[in-house]
């Protein structure tokens, strides 16, 4: 078995983005006259539903609030623009170890991919903010939630990433921060490294192959160095 690619989730894995997403949702609700406000505890619970539009629909259904897919799509478009504004203000930094791991993987000839429920626009914004480059200059493949029929924990987005990479699951390792992400990657047959984020630390990561506090070299060298091609 030869490792040929690393596949990364985005929100919570590459960077602690969820607090900016929460703020963007709340700013959008206030601007559009929607009487919702999600505090951190509420948002932690809502994150169990993957996808921003789906999250709003789940909240409305739970609270018995009339709200349809068209309204969700309209608000989500506004929220995505607001999130981009917040990112452009310098609100993101890569999580510890991400830059070094990606640099090492690239230097050793590994492919790099994204498998995310967020939008390609959000991936691109993050890459411009954190790397100063477009997403397709950092990653070889970007597979996003709206490009597949089912979002995580279904395996669809990882299967799409594998298809675009032209690789089998055995050739890759996934990097995630949530239980839904672990289930998604494992359902696609991919080994998974988990680095819990600020919103996912209490989740059950059963099925993960590695659970690390961060991807700093001190944490991943012993477990992953044997899987990376030799220098």
Res 231 pLDDT > 60? no
Question: Could you give the 3-state DSSP secondary structure of residue 25?
Answer: helix
The fraction of the chain above a pLDDT of 70, given in percent, is: 95
Report the predicted TM-score, pTM, of the whole model to 2 decimal places: 0.89
Closest by CA position to 199, among listed 37, 20, 72: 20
Helices (H), 67-224: 69-88, 98-107, 120-131, 135-138, 156-165, 179-187, 217-224
Q: Can you tell me the distance from the alpha carbon of 221 to that of 126, in angstroms, rounded to the nearest whole number?
A: 26
Res 69 pLDDT > 80? yes
Q: Give CA torsion, residues 200, 205, 210, 212, to 10 deg.
A: 30
Question: Looking at the annotation, which residues are catalytic?
Answer: 9, 11
Q: Is the dihedral of CA 13, 92, 142, 2 positive or negative?
A: negative
- Report domain extents, the chain: 5-16+94-227, 18-88
pLDDT digits (tens, 9 = 90+) for 22-32: 999 999 999 99
Kindly report the CATH class assigned to 18-88: mainly alpha
If phi over 0 gives left and psi between -120 and 50 gives alpha, with beta otherwise, what is residue 132?
Answer: left
pLDDT digits (tens, 9 = 90+) for 111-153: 999 999 998 999 999 999 999 999 999 999 999 988 999 999 9
The domain made up of 5-16+94-227 has a fold known as Rossmann fold (3.40.50)
């Amino acid at each position: 078995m030869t490792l040929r690619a690393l596949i990364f989730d985005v929100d919570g894995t590459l960077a602690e983005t969820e607090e900016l997403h929460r703020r963007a949702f709340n700013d959008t609700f206030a601007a559009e006259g929607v009487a919702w406000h999600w505090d951190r505890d509420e948002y932690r619970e809502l994150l169990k539903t993957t996808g921003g539009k789906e999250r709003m629909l789940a909240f409305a259904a739970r609270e018995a609030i009339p709200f349809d897919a068209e309204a969700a799509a309209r608000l989500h478009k506004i929220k995505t623009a607001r999130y981009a504004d917040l990112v452009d203000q310098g609100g993101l930094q890569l999580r510890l170890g991400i830059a070094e791991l990606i640099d090492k993987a690239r230097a050793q000839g590994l492919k790099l991919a994204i498998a995310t429920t967020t939008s390609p626009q959000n991936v691109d914004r993050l890459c411009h903010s954190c790397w100063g480059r477009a997403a397709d200059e950092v990653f070889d493949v970007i597979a996003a939630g709206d490009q597949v029929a089912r979002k995580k924990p279904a395996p669809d987005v990882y299967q799409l990433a594998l298809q675009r990479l032209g690789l089998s699951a055995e050739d890759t390792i996934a990097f995630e921060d949530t239980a839904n992400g672990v289930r998604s990657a494992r359902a696609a047959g991919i080994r998974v490294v988990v680095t819990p984020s600020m919103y996912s630390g209490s989740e059950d990561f059963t099925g993960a192959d590695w659970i690390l506090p961060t991807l700093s070299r001190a944490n991943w060298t012993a477990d992953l160095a044997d899987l990376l091609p030799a220098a």
